[in-house]
Amino acid sequence: MDEITNLMHGFGVALTLPNLGFMLIGLTLGVLIGVLPGLGGANGVAILLPLTFSMNPTSAIIMLSCIYWGALFGGAITSILFNIPGEPWSVATTFDGYPMAQQGRAAQALTAAFTSSFVGALFAVILITFLAPLLAKFALKFGPPEFFAVQLLTFCSFIGTSKEPAAKTLASMMLGFALAAVGMDTVTGQLRMTFGVPELLKGFDFLIAVIGLFGIGEILLTMEEGLAFKGKSAKINFKVVWQTWGELARHWKTFLRSTAIGCWMGITPGGATPASFMSYGMARRMSSEPDSFGKGQIQGVIAPETAAHAAGTSALLPMLTLGIPGSPTAAVLLGGLLIWGLQPGPMLFVEQKDFVWGLIASMYLGNLVGLIVVLTTVPWWAAILRIPFSVIAPVIIVICAIGAYTVHSSMFDVVMMLVFGGVGYVFKKLRYPLAPMVLALVLGDMAEASFRQSMLASQGKLSIFWSNPLVGGITALALVILLWPAVQRLRSWLRARETQPVGDVP
Amino acid sequence: MSDPDPSSTGAPVGKRGPELGMAGVLAAIALVVIGDSLRVGIGWADDGPRAGYFPFYIGLLLLGASLAIVLGQLLQWKQPDPVFAERAQLRSVVAVLLPMVVYVAAIWGLGIYLASALLIGFFMRRHGHYRWPLTVAVSVGVPLLLFAVFEKWFLVPLPKGPIERLFGL
């Protein structure tokens, strides 16, 4: 078993004192970010990324990925105690978590949520450990057409699986691509859409977009809702943890199902948020007492938390092996890889063994340490949420501004952050999804390069995307996922027509 | 925010205006993308596709999507307009957005530390109704902490203004 040897080597890399220190810092910051409104995994990592420019890449990714795990854990705390989802993926956790807290079972709900997160992540990391090397080996044979086909699959599955209207998903994605095209064209050296503005030469940085869209936009939304933090308090003691674990063991089927949904949604870029909703829905449908959901059913906490964490973790699988992130936060980490001078993709597993296996080992450790950290420190985090928003909000704005400035030491970026913040607010209000825009902004140049190389190879014929079974299969899958909702709508429309008397159809 | 606002009556803002406005902006961006792609060339040169080859189709798809959104709005014109936001809600959004714009402008002249202190102080007084001692403590303490973390620990220089020059930093 090559993987086991590599993994042990990875533990050797991750288990050094400085790396364990970075892990703890990352987890603590992550939980803090997850608890605070306006700061989330994606923009939290984006703000801290510039601080790691001078760090060794392995330590940097361990710290940043631990921020991600911490944020995943932290989202559950606010959902259960305050009925306020700190992160979009913990919205589904509020459905049953908050009622449990109201009934005085906050400690059980929190233990269930943290444990579920841990289990979901653990399965996803095991999946990464054994699947990632295989996928990377397989992807070494990929040429530009295959890479473009995989990117096409990513973007088609956004449109096909998103809950938002397809036109808005497409518009958001294309806006991302358009912004990515601004600046110098790397192939011909020509300037595109700069209109003589020197600041536009380097193009739009996705880190600025992430900080604005998710940070400033979220603050504006929170202000609009008018926050009143009226939370339940909770203390977790060992006895409650032990009892809850006993209860959790009986719901192993929910765990398995939710993990499967989460891993699938994470690898195909559905992301953690839809995974949590889908898993919650499935748990209710499969339950013998569906009416108890929404009233403090523990399975209603297990299902979304397991799926969200499994999805959040497995989103790193395509990022590491193919260079295609499965979630906005994975996209930011991918941007980090590029900044540290590492080329994401299959070659990473050949050339940067220390980095890859150190990261994978740190996922095991980070989630275990994270579980212990959150179980023991819940009351403190709940106390942070009692600080009024009139103090938290300006501090978050200041942190976002600093984060945007430090990316390129440029004030223009801070102004752009404000613009993206306004866009983020309006997009959220009008139900435009933000994730496709961020991913398109990150992948835009790569997608364009692989498309142009494919076109160069085929002299401009699109048939290259069907030229062999591999690329043809991926392209066909992309189109099926893209058109699936339309096919289903057509089918239900036809069925409705059949059941109605012919004369009634207008 | 819990600012009592007696003038917060009035009809809520409908969704249709913002929907059409956003789609219009997107369509305008699409036209800019298409126009600029045509300028740099969307065809083939001797060495392969030209710079506008890929963005041109991006522009077309963006234009198509925004037109589809407009069409969708027009098709449900007869249905009642869903609510975008209440007027009072929009007012609290503007109450944050405006200070943010002023803050970013202030960074230019005053440096980020002084501007941040003013922003935090403004929020705590205006929205939190805190007393002066606590307001001053927090609004001076946070920038000092940030200064220690960024300039001293991580050695990342942030924009400075007259105050920092006065201290010779």
DSSP character at residue A88: G
Judged by CB atoms closer than 8 Å, whether chains meet at A402 and B158 is answered as: yes
pTM score of the predicted model: 0.83
Judged by CB atoms closer than 8 Å, whether chains meet at B1 and A181 is answered as: no
CA distance A28 to A74: 9
CA proximity to B37, closest of B54, B16, B49: B54
CB-nearest partner of A220 from B15, B97, B150 = B97
Check whether residue B116 and residue B97 sit in a common domain. yes
Residue A205 and residue A407 in contact, taking contact as beta carbons nearer than 8 Å = yes
Q: Is B98 at the interface with chain A, CB within 8 A?
A: no
Higher pLDDT, B1 or A114: A114
CA distance B30 to B21: 14
Q: Is A414 at the interface with chain B, CB within 8 A?
A: yes
Check whether residue B35 and residue B72 sit in a common domain. yes
Q: Which of residues 305-324 of A touch B (CB under 8 A)?
A: none
CA distance B145 to A496: 64
CB-nearest partner of B1 from A226, A397, A421 = A226
Check whether residue B43 and residue B80 sit in a common domain. yes
Tell me whether residue A503 is in a domain: no
A191-192 and B83-85: which strand pairing? unpaired
Tell me whether residue B6 is in a domain: no
Tell me whether residue A504 is in a domain: no
Task: Profile chain A (506 residues) by mean pLDDT over runs of 10 residues.
Answer: 81 85 90 80 84 84 89 83 73 84 85 90 90 84 85 82 83 92 81 81 84 86 69 71 83 87 77 78 81 83 89 86 81 84 83 86 90 86 78 88 87 92 91 86 84 85 84 87 84 80 48
Cβ-based neighbour number of residue B138 at 10 Å = 21
Q: Which residue has the tokens 């008018």?
A: A226
- Specify the number of domains making up chain B: 2
Check whether residue B54 and residue B108 sit in a common domain. no
Q: Is the pLDDT confidence value at B102 over 90? A: yes
Check whether residue B96 and residue B80 sit in a common domain. no
Distance from CA of B162 to the nearest CA of A (A): 17
Check whether residue B97 and residue B59 sit in a common domain. no
Tell me whether residue A200 is in a domain: yes
CA proximity to A281, closest of A112, A486, A265, A371: A265
**Looking at residue A401, what is its pLDDT?**
92
What angle do helix axes A57-82 and A299-314 make, rounded to 10 degrees? 160
Tell me whether residue A502 is in a domain: no
Judged by CB atoms closer than 8 Å, whether chains meet at A452 and B53 is answered as: yes
Q: What is the mean pLDDT of chain B?
A: 85
CA distance B64 to B49: 23
Cβ-based neighbour number of residue A182 at 10 Å = 21
Task: For CA atoms A312, A317, A320, A324, give the dihedral sign.
Answer: negative
Residue A424 and residue A213 in contact, taking contact as beta carbons nearer than 8 Å = yes
Check whether residue B78 and residue B34 sit in a common domain. yes
What's the burial of A344, exposed, middle or buried (CB within 10 Å: 0-12/13-18/19+)?
buried
Tell me whether residue B4 is in a domain: no
- Specify the number of domains making up chain A: 1
How far from the centroid of its chain's Cα atoms is residue B52's Cα? 29
Check whether residue B151 and residue B115 sit in a common domain. yes
Check whether residue B68 and residue B95 sit in a common domain. no
Tell me whether residue A490 is in a domain: yes
Range of the domain at A384: 2-497
Judged by CB atoms closer than 8 Å, whether chains meet at A394 and B19 is answered as: no
Length of chain A: 506
DSSP character at residue B111: B
DSSP character at residue A459: T
**Looking at residue B28, what is its pLDDT?**
94
Residues in a beta bridge with B45: B48
Cβ-based neighbour number of residue A463 at 10 Å = 8
* Domain termination site, one of B84, B101, B135: B84
What angle do helix axes A328-339 and A41-48 make, rounded to 10 degrees? 20
Which two tokens mark B56? 């041109």
Residues of chain A contacting residue B116, judged by C-beta atoms under 8 Å apart: 394, 398, 401
Range of the domain at B94: 87-166
Q: DSSP E strands: which ranges in chain B?
A: 13-14, 44-45, 48-49, 83-85
ipTM: 0.89
Tell me whether residue B3 is in a domain: no
Tell me whether residue B126 is in a domain: yes
Higher pLDDT, B138 or A381: B138
3-state SS assignment for residue B83: strand
Q: Is the pLDDT confidence value at B104 over 90? A: yes
Which two tokens mark A173? 């994605």
pLDDT band at B6 (very low <50, low <70, confident <90, very high): very low
Residue B113 and residue B158 in contact, taking contact as beta carbons nearer than 8 Å = yes
Tell me whether residue A505 is in a domain: no
CB burial string A90-121: b at 16+ within 10 A, e below: bbbbbbbbbbbbeeebbbbbbbbbbbbbbbbb
**Looking at residue B2, what is its pLDDT?**
42
Q: C-alpha distances in angstroms, A384 versus A249, B47, B132? A: 32, 59, 22
**Looking at residue A316, what is its pLDDT?**
85
Check whether residue B39 and residue B102 sit in a common domain. no
CA distance A322 to A148: 11
Higher pLDDT, B61 or A455: B61
Higher pLDDT, B125 or A86: B125
Check whether residue B48 and residue B109 sit in a common domain. no
3-state SS assignment for residue B85: strand
Check whether residue B97 and residue B140 sit in a common domain. yes
Distance from CA of B7 to the nearest CA of A (A): 17
**How many Cβ contacts (< 8 angstroms) between chains A and B?**
178
Tell me whether residue A456 is in a domain: yes
Judged by CB atoms closer than 8 Å, whether chains meet at A51 and B123 is answered as: no
Residue A238 and residue A57 in contact, taking contact as beta carbons nearer than 8 Å = no
DSSP character at residue A153: H
CA distance A488 to A480: 11
CA distance A273 to A312: 9
